[in-house]
Amino acid sequence: MHFLWTLGARSSPSSNRFLLLKRFQSTQTTAKNAKSIFTYGKDGHYFRDRIDPNESKFSKILIANRGEIACRIIRTCQAMGIKTVAVHSDVDSNSLFVKMADEAVCIGPAQAKLSYLNEDIILNAVKQTGAEAVHPGYGFLSENTKFAKKLADNNVEFIGPSSKSIEAMGDKIHSKVIARKANVSMIPGYDGEVKDEDECIRVSNDIGYPVMIKASAGGGGKGMRVAWNDKEARENFRLCKGEAASSFGDDRMLVEKFIDNPRHIEFQILGDKSGNILYLNERECSIQRRNQKVIEEAPSVFLDKETRRKMGEEAVQLAHAVGYYSAGTVEFMVDSKRNFYFLEMNTRLQVEHPITEATTGTVEFMVDSKRNFYFLEMNTRLQVEHPITEATTGIDLVHQMIRVAKGHKLNYKQEDITMKGWAFECRVYAEDPYKAFGLPSIGRLTSYKDPSDIPNVRCDSGITEGSEISLYYDPLICKLTTFGNDRQAALATMAQALDSYVIRGVTNNIPLLRDIITEERFVSGDISTKYLPQVYPEGFKGKQLKDTERESLVALAACVAVKGALRDRSFKRQHSNVTRPTDYEYEVRLNDFKRKIRVTPSEKDGMKEFHVDVDGKQNITIKDNFKLGDHVLKIDFNGQPFTMQLYKMDATGNVTLIYLGTKYELRVLPQRAAKYMSIMPAKKQIDLASVLISPMPGIVKSVSVKVGERVADGQEVCVVEAMKMQNKLIAGRAGVVKFVGIKEGETVEDGKILIELE
């Protein structure tokens, strides 16, 4: 994506000319080749946000972050005419954000605590490059009070709230005390720090199970777990404390009542240094796994105008209580009666900000089925999900953050903030959705093409073809945002975008995302934070096809095979007198589902078609207008448009197709060869009850057993950390340990045998 300056008249008595920010995008890896204008409708993406060329600005900004958020900040800086500095670890030296920046400084090895969390090294980079300000993005140092103070002591502007606001709201323990005094709706809980496992159990019993154990610092689902009894409270306290220490450098913990089956709704706020504070309405963030958001939307289908107003006003009350300015999020839980309760305030830009955009903070709520709402927390940073707010308000959040940091007042009032249309954000992760809704995957992107050429689609990504997804950082590939005049239109565009998204080389969660957006409950807006386990109680198994859909898929696979055969025969005819058959007969198998297929190619008036007979019962016509070399195949299927991806095909009849997000492995064999399949020996299966296999790549944090030790069914045997999340692995049955193939600190691959029982 790219930006272009275009002159636009702003209607004002002074008749000054302002530069209108327009978003451009390209499939190129640099910011120099703008191809097509990126807009949500005729008004452009940032239809309300104009850049004043006469306003004072920073000359150079250092971005203390990496990946897609660093790219996102650089693009707005380029639009404003501000030079940028990227800091990067060794493994990120060839990353897109490093190439996009005007300058780059290597700050250390891959481990975050030695590079992106090292305040002194980053401060040295600021001094070395002469940067006037630092944008922290989200995560890492975005809510670090000490870092903000160090910058201030060196006359460097921190692009975010004051260190006092971060200290007040970045600490979830202290923020609850402040929120209670500000008359914000609260969840029952313990206001102090919980220091050890025994105290956690005592506090949990005082509150009453279930409870939420979570880190006082940070966010992103790390350092958060639900406990339903004393045993889980002890185990989860230990795991959460370890995650908090490695992710945020702060292992303080709190315990509060867990509200079951609520909605998670956050409010974006924006403030300046003159005391002006606005709310930019809500984002619905209820689709989660492991307390981390997967799909967000703005607005929420659940809130009425009155509840929206009340929640927004409480968010502003809290912001005033801490003298807040810049981007932040106030999080709430909301029940079915629209009662709402404070969760936390995020004092930074949110991931999902492209659905809201402005110099804002975000207030997050949980909403229960009665529409009661409860404060969760205030995040003193830009949120991951900020693009959906940008889409519905027309305001560039990063632009406004930079303006406020420079001392400029907001040029909006509350009555100026309206919602236009609907937006969704899907977080595309390098994860295996078939394992606990998404365990991390690593590898190199051998082929990559995002769907940014589709109208009303925005792709925020920090990777390109050839990029490496490592186990050291968050596995986010892209924040995929779509916009429409209404919810249905935005969802339809999201389906088209996911069907057209090409990712090869790493496992990704598109199958799960694609299934969710067409699932009945989601389409109707009947969602909560328990959505995934309720809709997929046995875990995600892929798109469940009807027989008619299977028949369509096997017909398409047969046509792909015929297309390959025709290509081969075309080459052979150049060297021999081989004639092609008039039709092709196959048996096509999809697991236990099989059909006999006859494909007859035809051509009339230059129009090529395949006529497909399925088991002598169904006749299908498919236009021969696709190419086997294309990843995405746009097919005319009985007159209806049909999008799928050709993932792989080989000479032995194996054809792998991606349909509705899910990958299907089919076997296309000539009918004569298919007769011999029944006598082929079956592949021997591993006894998974006796062998513990690593479900993901990661680093071994602890090993709890040794050879010769007897273990119980379900007993913890080791903990593997991946992407800052600690995963407890357990024995599949009772038995005696025969083999231990790992040790603490070792890096393991997905599929490695860790423990074996006799």
458 is catalytic: no
Q: Which of 252, 263, 348, 458 does the annotation list as catalytic?
A: 348
| DSSP category for residue 221 | T
What the block records as the tokens of 473 is: 């950082």
CA distance 462 to 451: 15
What the block records as the tokens of 685 is: 């299966």
What the block records as the tokens of 76 is: 């707005």
Residue located via tokens 């030296």 = 93
The answer to whether 338 and 372 have CB atoms below 8 angstroms apart is yes
- Structural Rg of the chain based on CA atoms: 27
Say what the alpha-carbon torsion angle 554, 559, 565, 568 is, to the nearest 10 degrees. -130
- Centroid of chain to Cα 592: 34
The answer to whether 440 and 474 have CB atoms below 8 angstroms apart is no
CA distance 132 to 62: 8
CA distance 758 to 746: 24
CA distance 616 to 554: 14
3-state secondary structure of 84: strand
The answer to whether 388 and 281 have CB atoms below 8 angstroms apart is no
Task: Give first-to-last CA distance, the chain, whole Å.
Answer: 56
CA distance 460 to 346: 21
Please provide the DSSP assignment of 145-182 as one string: HHHHHHHHHTT-EESSS-HHHHHHHHSHHHHHHHHHHT
Question: Smallest Cα–Cα separation from 342: which of 175, 164, 171, 161?
Answer: 175
Phi, psi of 487 (to 5 degrees): -60, -40
Query: Can you give the three-state secondary structure of 490-528, one letter per residue?
Result: HHHHHHHHHHHCEEECCCCCHHHHHHHCCCHHHHHCCCC
Q: Which residues pair with 344 in a beta bridge?
A: 377
Residue located via tokens 């598109």 = 510
Q: Encode 290-329: b = buried (16+ Cβ within 10 Å), e = exposed.
A: bbbbbbbbbbbebbeeebbeebbebbbbbbebbebbbbbb
What the block records as the tokens of 183 is: 């008359």
Residue 593 burial by Cβ neighbours in a 10 Å radius (0-12, 13-18, 19+): middle
* Active centre residues (catalytic): 348
